Amino acid sequence: MAAKFSPSLMCMDLTQFREQITAMNSRADFYHVDIMDGNYVRNITLSPFFIENLRKITEVPIDVHLMVNHPEDIIPLCLDAGADIISFHPETANNKIFRLLNQIKDAGRRCGVVLNPATPAQAIREYAHLLDKVTVMSVDPGYVGQKFIPESLNKISQLIEMREKNGWHYLTEIDGSCNEKTFNVIAQSGVDVFIVGTSGLFSLAGNVSEAWDKMVANYRRETAA
């Protein structure tokens, strides 16, 4: 399977919202939208209102990452706004994981969970058959520009082994510091989707089309793809 790329839109230039989305619509496999509540993590970023406006100008799947303490409050808003995939951190919903995953699937959307660097792959075993995507954080959640945590790659390998052994269907995804310095070692893990943000994409050029071409060139050079 060829690598898939999901730009993290909290890193884009919001003053060029339409221009940058239009340029990436023919390139991106997903759009990654981080929603942070200022409680689960101390930062506050995008919102269901952002999803609603993004939906008006793209058919690219909108992939929402909830970094919130009460995902049950935000999931209905994301569904109404047009999100295609909704993922949350399992520790925020331990007593309601099945209910939330089934709520998303019953709405005809895809669901996932996000594993922090210290959360083991085995944590998903009881509900992995419901998942369409498992995201592994390779930095602590909440802020851009953090140092890559190489131990996270062991989790990717474990998730892929679990998927193949059990016939599960989820995509694996990595979130945090995906750029030319880490592309090669990440690719070796077999991960399906790379989330690219400031260092991997948006800082490479002022024009996002040029930045995307540089990102792809970096990936191919570093991975010999």
Q: Give yes or no for residue 213 having a pLDDT over 70.
A: yes
Q: Is the pLDDT of residue 225 over 80?
A: no
Q: H-type helices in the chain, by residue range?
A: 17-24, 48-55, 71-81, 97-106, 152-166, 183-188, 208-223
pLDDT at site 214:
98
Select the CATH number that applies to the domain covering 4-223 from these four: 3.30.420.40, 3.90.1300.10, 3.20.20.70, 3.40.50.2300: 3.20.20.70
What value does the mean pLDDT take over residues 48-58? 98
Active site residues: 34, 175
**Residue 175 marked in a binding site:** yes
| Domain ranges, ordered by start, for the chain | 4-223
Please check the confidence at residue 140 and state whether its pLDDT lies above 90: no
Q: What angle do CA 169, 173, 174 make, to 5 degrees?
A: 155
pLDDT of residue 221: 96
Nearest by Cα to 195 from 161, 158, 148: 148
Q: Which amino acid is present at 142?
A: G
Is residue 32 a known part of a binding site? yes
Look at residue 145 and tell me whether its pLDDT is greater than 90. no
pLDDT greater than 80 at residue 143: no
Whole-number percent of the chain with pLDDT over 70: 97
Please say if the pLDDT value at position 146 is more than 90.
no
Would you state the pLDDT for residue 58? Answer: 98
197 in a known ligand binding site: yes
pLDDT of 1 > 80? The answer is: no
CA dihedral 215, 219, 221, 225 (to 10 degrees): -130
Per the structure block, which two tokens stand in for 175?
């979130």
Q: What is the pLDDT of residues 63-99, one digit of tens each?
A: 999 999 999 999 999 999 999 999 999 999 989 999 9
Report yes or no: 78 and 70 within 8 Å, Cβ to Cβ.
no
Give me the mean pLDDT over the 193-222 stretch.
96
170 close to 112: Cβ distance less than 8 angstroms: yes
Q: How confident is the model at residue 110 (pLDDT cuts 50, 70, 90)?
A: very high
65 is annotated as contributing to ligand binding: yes
Q: Establish whether 198 is an annotated binding residue.
A: yes
- State the chain's mean pLDDT as an integer: 94
Query: What pLDDT is recorded for position 45?
Result: 87
CB 186, CB 194: distance < 8 Å: yes
The Cα–Cα gap between 142 and 198 comes to 14
pLDDT the model gives residue 91: 93
Residue 44: predicted pLDDT: 85
Burial 60-89 (b: 16+ CB within 10 A, else e): bebbbbbbbbebeebbebbbebbbbbbbbb
Rg (CA), the chain: 16
